[in-house]
Chain A
């Protein structure tokens, strides 16, 4: 069975500092990987995804994630965070299951950016 592990439940970081949110997955078959962000009182929004090709994927707001097959990781990074990045971040994995694709989400990492 596949699973997603986000080891850090909360990550406090000062504004303009770099941040890395960790995500590891377990699966014996090829998977597709996603990061979603949830701002307070809002639904989840797709931040970025890895489907194939380049292992480094970027979002429009400066986040990036690198797919590392050997380490089964898909860590999310940003070189300089802003107050507005305060949110909960979910890593997710999906693979074909009975003709469709089922998403498995991690438990989330709450990023708090401090002034």
Chain B
């Protein structure tokens, strides 16, 4: 079974530029999550999708971050414009459903450096 795929693995941009990350979850997983992991901290949930609908985006900085999952499969997270404090690893995860008994499977992450 293929795992969660993410691309690119690494990205370096200058502040005020735009960047986009892509995630393809495990086949059949209805729930998709984007997390931000700043160095020295645990992952923080940015947004959660159930199929193509947003379940929780309370911690997403909506003035600069956006995410979509148009067909209920893969997803894109965008930052526009980027700030220095956005330097982090962006993790995508998926699960069969949003229930607490369903394991979240994580991708390898995209490491973003904003200069």
- Interface size class of chain A, counting residues whose CB lies under 8 Å from the partner chain: 20 to 34
Does B109 lie within 8 Å of A98, measured CB to CB?
no
Chain B interface main SS type: loop
Q: How near does chain A come to B46, taking the closest CB pair, in angstroms? A: 11
Interface string of B44-57 (1 = CB under 8 A from A): 11001010000110
Q: Report the interface size for chain B: residues with CB under 8 A from the other chain.
A: 25
Q: Does A84 contact B (CB under 8 A)?
A: no
Inter-chain CA distance A99–B54, complex, in Å, is 13
| Cβ of A42 under 8 Å from chain B | yes
| CB contact between A100 and one of B4, B98, B101, B107 (< 8 Å): that residue | B98
Q: How far is the CA of A87 from the CA of B100 in the complex (A)?
A: 25
Contact bitstring A37-51, B, C-beta under 8 A = 1, else 0: 000011111100101
B106 interfacial contact with A, CB 8 Å: yes
List A contacts of B103 (CB < 8 A): 46, 49
B91 at the interface (CB under 8 A from A): yes
* Residues of chain B having any CB pair with chain A under 8 Å: 3-4, 40-45, 48, 50, 55-56, 91, 93, 98-101, 103-109
Query: Nearest 7 CB-CB pairs, A to B?
Result: A105-B42, A43-B106, A44-B106, A101-B100, A100-B98, A43-B108, A32-B100
Would you give 26 A-B contacts (Cβ < 8 Å), ordered by A?
A32-B100, A36-B106, A43-B91, A43-B93, A43-B105, A43-B109, A44-B91, A44-B93, A44-B106, A45-B106, A46-B104, A51-B100, A51-B101, A90-B42, A90-B43, A94-B100, A97-B56, A98-B56, A101-B99, A102-B45, A102-B48, A102-B56, A105-B44, A107-B41, A107-B42, A108-B41
